[in-house]
Structure 1
Amino acid sequence: MINVAIIGCGHGGQALAADLSQKGCKVSLYAHPDHPGGIAAIAKARGIQGKGLINQFVPIARVTTDLQQAMEQSEYIFLVLPSYAHEAMFIEMLPYLKPGQTVITLAANFASLSYLKLLEKTGKMADIDMIDIASLPYVCRSDNAGTVEIIAVKKKLAVASIPAAAIHKHIRKLGPVFPCQMITYQDVLSLGMNITSGMTHPAITLLNAGRIGKGKEVFYFYKDGITPEIASVIERLDAERLRIGQRLGLEMYEYLDLMAEYYGTRYESVYQFFRESPAHNALPLCPSSLQERYITQDVAGLMVPWYGLGKLVHSESFVMGNLINIASLLNNTNYLRTGLNLARLNLHDKTIEEIMQYVTYGRLSASLSPYDICSGHLKQPACQTTCFGNVA
């Protein structure tokens, strides 16, 4: 039995708690006292009522608003939160983290790099593994407290870790219970540059701002929000992202190839994908305002670091920069300043070579032994599996 803590009680946290519990994991589900969500209803029922793909009541071993209690016996700690809450939540977790625990962030948006900067100040860095997962594995919703509907599950999801070589031992342990196949990337920077939500959401949201900004119109976000012109913007954005990653020497994949891996269906164009994808068009999924995660998470937490890395390698990012500026204007927020910029990732003062060492080992070569560099791991003997991705 694997002991896990799930930090976050929104629709994603409830879906993961129900799924892992019914697969035999001992789950501690935590909600922050300031954002309790449906935790009271779940605690009263002692479980979650599943609908859709998990159409049953699932008991949850522990339901709590006590963070220390949730974490104390957990081998794996899943953060299932909006990306803007990752760093603040990790700071609250720091006093309770123990050697040998692993922190896993879903919809990570470079989360492990922001945590690494905090761990360096505590001396716990060599004792904690961190895993980034590209997105939530489910298409799901929770309309009532204590009830979650899982509509679809992705076929595959990309994962990477710090230290980079640690990912394989964790996949061996988590693979039997995780809801979909995990595809390994060589490092968390490569993973972050291939997270698809930065291409999926911002352009459609911003270029439908007149409809969304009214706060009243409900439409099918993907099939009704896309036009050939907006699809062209997304394709140009994807080309910029690919060029930045390639100049950094990262493992990069085109948007449509990634979506084919995740959802199991290949489309000929971005326009066709958004118009016809069943998983994306089962529900309207339209944001109610421009202050929701399609901007606050995907612009601030993905496009901003992409743009910063583009500046570092002198790669033109005309579309990316303009989308960030439009989002900043509409929401009266300077996302280049407040978002996940390179300073917050502790990459702003490093060369490209130093960045690659940092994301691979969690520190620079001056503090690495020859053994560390050969093994690719800071804590244990070298992993026997090559740490390169296998996205087709």
Structure 2
Amino acid sequence: MKTIAILGTGNIAQTLAIDLKLNGHVVRLYAPEYLGDRINNLLESPKLESVGELVGQATLDLVTTDIDKAVTGADYICIAVPGYRHVEYAKLLKGHTTASQVVFTFNACLASLVYKKIWGDDPNCPIFADTDLPPFSTRVIAPGRIQLFERHLGGIAFFPASVAEKYYDEIYSEFYAFPKLYKDVLECSLSLINPCVHPGACLVNLSNIEKPDTNFFLYEHGFTPSGIKIDLHLNEERLQLGKALGYDDLHALEDFAGVQGKLKWEDLYAMGHGCYALTSIAGPNSIFDRYLTEDVPVDLVCWSSIAAQIGVPTPVTDALITLVGVIHGEDWASKGRTAVELGLSGKSASQIVKFVREGHF
């Protein structure tokens, strides 16, 4: 049994909370006061219920807006918030941890480096662990009630990579049995699936996403050949960046689609229309959904910024970043998760790889 602090109150956070509690762990849930009803409901009644692939009810050990109460003495700290909130949470968490704690970020695009840059050389800097997927496809369907559609544990990586030998077996047996251990957080970040799945399909379906009277389902309705062809280009540019950095086995999307060899648009079309866990998920119904506010300014900007720095062209990725920035009224190329935010500005490919492996340049 571990003591686990979960920071966040969204789909993944609440599902993590009930899943880990049902598995016998001590579970604390934290969220800032400004979230209003989203945290107030849980403060009043710290009970969660799950239906679907996970059926059960559980009462959390603590729901709090006090970060110290949430994380003091916790073995693991799970940060389950959208990628664009990681800087906020890194600043919030700094000064409240110990060097023996492990901080997890899910569906993380080098989030560990965002946290490390803010921690700097603080002796109480924890160990960081990034994953390439959240543990499930899930949705909060009512206050205190979640529906889990599918479990899909992916891979995990540690920063620095050199600590994996010490921590991986314990986490595998006592937290989640992540089936793959990546060489480092850079390989993990380049194995993300969402940035090569959501953006193209969303871009060609903006009119449906913005219609308040449309019951829109991205995979069921929005996975059309034109959007998928954009996604294939995003995927190809991801692979080229990985190759330039020395990672040749970046086939997470191909594996997810059940394909060996080069992906075709028909493969992704079949994946989107043939998987219950995907087609059952409604939305997005706003251009400010995380499919566009996380996958583009966090993930695609991260890849594009590093690629530009080491001389790898990413024309389709860059064009999509520009267009999504236009609809958001933001310059995501400069305001997203750039090499500067990651502490990698001016570094060569070999220096970047050395840093994620050893923790220093």
Offset, 1:123: 4.1
d(CA) in 2 for partners of 1:270, 1:57: 36
CA displacement, residues 224-281 of structure 1 (integer Å, 9 cap, x when unaligned): 10222222221122111101110111254235424157xxxx9961121112122101
3-state SS in 1 of match to 2:222: coil
* Cα pair 1:23 1:177 within 8 Å, conserved: no
Deviates more, 1:251-260 or 1:106-115: 251-260
Contact preservation (8 Å) 2:228, 2:269? yes
Distance in 1, Cα, partners of 2:342 & 2:191: 17
Whole-angstrom CA distance in 1 between matches of 2:252 and 2:25: 33
Q: Does 2:352 correspond to 1:355?
A: yes
Aligned to 1:294: 291
Structure 1 residue 168, shift from structure 2 partner: 4.0
The Cα shift of 1:330 comes to 1.2
Whether the aligned pair in 2 keeps the contact of 1:141 and 1:148 (CA below 8 Å) is yes
Which residue does 2:178 correspond to in 1? Answer: 181
C-alpha distance in structure 1 between counterparts of 2:177 and 2:277, whole Å: 15
* Alignment check: 8 A CA contact 1:222 1:280 kept: yes
C-alpha contact 1:256 1:269 (8 A) present in aligned 2:
no
CA contact (8 A) 1:138 1:152 kept: yes
How has the CA–CA distance of structure 1 residues 24 and 346 changed in structure 2, closer, same or farther, with 3 Å as cutoff?
same
Q: What's the counterpart of residue 146 of structure 1?
A: 144
Cα distance in structure 1, aligned partners of 2:78 and 2:328:
30
Matching residue of 2:116: 116
> Per-residue deviation at 1:216?
3.1
Q: Counterparts of 1:45 and 1:34 in 2: how far apart (Å)?
A: 18
Correspondence for 1:238 among 223, 235, 257:
235
CA spacing shift, 1:180–1:207, aligned 2, 3 Å: farther
Matches within 5 A, 1:121-270: 122-125=122-125, 128-154=126-152, 156-178=153-175, 181-260=178-257, 269-270=267-268
Please state if 1:331 is matched with 2:323: no
Structure 1: state its 5+ residue gaps: 365-392
Q: How does 1:9-24 map to 2 (within 5 A)?
A: 9-24=9-24
Q: How many residues align?
A: 357
Deviation at 1:178, TM superposition (A): 4.1
Residue 45 of structure 1 and its aligned partner are, at CA, apart by: 3.2
Measured at CA, do residues 15 and 37 of structure 1 come closer, stay the same or move farther in structure 2, by a change above 3 Å? Answer: farther
Native 8 Å contact 1:228 1:271 kept in 2? yes
CA distance in structure 2 between the partners assigned to 1:361 and 1:188 by the alignment:
11
SS in 2 for 1:174: helix
Provide Cα deviations, 1:17-37, integer angstroms capped at 9, x if missing partner: 100111111111111111255
Residue 301 of structure 2 corresponds to 304
CA distance in 1, matches of 2:121, 2:329: 33
Give the 3-state SS of the residue equivalent to 2:35 in structure 1.
Answer: coil
Change (3 A) 1:36 1:166: farther
Deviates more, 1:228-237 or 1:177-186: 177-186
Contact kept? 2:225, 2:269, Cα under 8 Å: yes
> In structure 1, what residue type is equivalent to 2:30?
Y
* Cα displacement (A) at 1:318: 1.6
- Report the Cα distance in structure 1 between the residues aligned to 2:315 and 2:31, rounded to whole angstroms: 40
What are the Cα deviations for residues 40-67 of structure 1, in whole angstroms up to 9, with x where unaligned?
3334334212222232211211111111
- Seen in structure 2, the aligned counterparts of structure 1 residues 359 and 31 have a Cα distance that, compared at 3 Å, is same
SS of the residue aligned with 1:140? strand
CA distance in 1, matches of 2:87, 2:166: 25
Asked whether the equivalents of residues 18 and 60 of structure 2 are also in contact (C-alpha less than 8 Å), the reply is yes
User: Deviations 1:288-322 (Å, cap 9, x if unpaired)?
Assistant: 11111111111011100111122123222121111
Q: Give the letter for the 1:233 counterpart.
A: I
For the structure 1 residues 37 and 150, does the alpha-carbon distance in structure 2 shift closer, same or farther, using more than 3 Å as the test? farther
Conserved? CA contact 1:159–1:185, under 8 Å: yes
SS of the residue 1:4 aligns to:
strand
Look up the SS of the partner of 1:14 in the other structure.
Answer: helix
2:315 equivalent in structure 1: 318
Per the TM alignment, residue 179 of structure 1 is displaced from its structure 2 partner at its CA by 5.0
Q: Which amino acid aligns with 1:303?
A: L
The percent of aligned pairs where both chains have the same amino acid is 26
Distance 2:41 2:174 in 1: 26
CA contact (8 A) 2:242 2:250 kept: no
| Structure 1 counterpart of 2:277 | 279
Cα distance change of structure 1 residues 205 and 180 upon mapping to structure 2, 3 Å threshold? farther
Gap regions ≥5 residues in structure 2: none
Q: Are the equivalent residues in 2 in contact too, given 1:20–1:177 (CA < 8 A)?
A: no
